[in-house]
Amino acid sequence: MTVNQVGENAWVPGVQHDTFVPDQLLSGPLQVVSDTVTILTATTATYKRGTVLGVVTASGKYTLSVATATDGSQIPKAILADDADASVADVLAGVYLMAEINQNRITFDPSWTLATLKTALRPFGIFLRDSVQAPAS
């Protein structure tokens, strides 16, 4: 009997194993509406998924929403869907424009409180809520 050994043959299918670990940012059955937007360059603009963003009126670009800003970004309008690094140049990134979002998984500027942010995001179809949990038995 002959045994064929197959080494690093590019024609042999490979197997890869990935594990999906949900971060529970999305927290409800509301239809999600997303879009791709431009994130404005800033020296400290490395944003994590779940960051609350506003739009700078003059440029139409998104940045961290700060309640005390006066450039339009003081109105929170979107939640960042993926990590984005705009520390060197403007970048395109996905955002949620309408969704139920887990309030325990968002990142926001300290100028906001969770209560004021909930109210400010509601007119834009973004609802912050606690995650749904199964009742204890």
- Taking only the tens place, the pLDDT of each residue in 53-111 is 999 999 999 999 999 999 999 999 999 999 999 999 999 999 999 999 999 999 999 99
> Are the beta carbons of 95 and 78 closer than 8 angstroms?
yes
Task: Identify the helix (H) or strand (E) that includes residue 55.
Answer: strand 52-55
Q: Quote the pTM value.
A: 0.80
Summarised one tens digit per residue, pLDDT across range 28-65 is: 888 999 999 999 998 777 999 999 999 999 999 999 99
Tell me, rounded to whole angstroms, the distance of Cα 67 from its chain centroid: 19
The Cα–Cα gap between 81 and 102 comes to 13
pLDDT of residue 4: 57
Question: Which domains are assigned to the chain?
Answer: 33-129 (2.40.300.10)
What is the per-residue pLDDT for 22?
Answer: 74
Cβ burial of 110 (10 Å; 0-12, 13-18, 19+) is exposed
Q: What sign does the CA torsion over 119, 120, 123, 124 have? A: negative
